[in-house]
A and B are shown apart, each in its own frame.
Chain A
């Protein structure tokens, strides 16, 4: 039960983040909002890291540099999120984002990208994506 509540809270925070970034962008600009929120988030995460023990930094050397660079995508992600919310609203943005997120994951699995175990696309995955796309048409109509 607690796990479910945390998952719900996590989802709410993800959507809230997009709305807050959009609100801040309206006042000071989008790149400004992305820079500011990630700077403060970084400082807080760094403080938590110091408290829980920072020794694991060295483990970064064991990870491929490409994988370490994933964080930089957030600049484009936040910019796209905010621009999309301004144009099409939160519900449609989140829906399209989830379709692309799940669809891309399926594509990466099917091709075995980035060391993922290669597996055939399943009927359920196709039906699921199809349902999500129909849902978007209902939303818009």
Chain B
């Protein structure tokens, strides 16, 4: 249950953050915005982590070298989205991004990849994911109202 609540909280914050970031992006461009967003995310994590854990925050006992490169994934996200948005309308780009997110989630859960607890694949899970993807497309493309650019990307 708490897992569900945490997911809902993350999703709500992602949508607000997407709107705020798009307002910065309109003025400052992709990379100034990305640098600001990651820099502030770093400072906020550092601050909260230090308040909660003190010096423990810097005791990385089981550190592995590849951890240093995980930040590149976030940069990969920005690069891919910028390229996709350039070539597609924001609505279709976001619908495909979300479809890809949930399909890869199912794939990696089923494989039990990267030390994840393996969640066995079932036809029901695939059906559930397909209905969710259907919902995304109905929400994004149902009705022909002109939508404001800022909210399209959120």
Interface residues of A (CB under 8 A from B): 2-4, 6-17, 19-24, 26-29, 31-46, 48-49, 52, 54, 56-57, 59-60, 62-64, 66-81, 83-106, 108-109, 114-117, 119, 122-125, 127-141
Query: With A27-B64, A40-B71, A114-B19 as given contacts, are A101 and B36 in contact (CB-CB < 8 Å)?
Result: no
Does A89 contact B117, Cβ atoms closer than 8 Å? yes
Name the B residues within 8 Å of A80 (CB-CB). 6-7, 9-10, 13
Identify 5 new A-B residue pairs, CB closer than 8 A, beyond the known A15-B108, A135-B133: A49-B35, A74-B37, A135-B130, A137-B128, A140-B128
Does A36 contact B70, Cβ atoms closer than 8 Å? yes
What residue in chain B is nearest A3 (Cβ atoms)? B87
Q: How far is the CA of A123 from the CA of B145 in the complex (A)?
A: 12
Task: Tally A-B pairs: CB < 8 A.
Answer: 448
Number of B residues whose C-beta is below 8 Å from A? 117
Most buried by B among A6, A64, A104: A6
Q: How far is the CA of A62 from the CA of B25 in the complex (A)?
A: 11
What residue in chain A is nearest B89 (Cβ atoms)? A3
Shortest beta-carbon distance from B73 to chain A in Å: 5
Shortest beta-carbon distance from A95 to chain B in Å: 5
**Which of B6, B9, B41, B106 is within 8 Å of A91, CB to CB?**
B106
Name the B residues within 8 Å of A117 (CB-CB). 148, 151
Does A24 contact B17, Cβ atoms closer than 8 Å? no
Q: How far is the CA of A94 from the CA of B75 in the complex (A)?
A: 20
Write the B4-38 contact mask toward A (1 if CB under 8 angstroms, else 0).
Answer: 10111111111111111101100111011011111
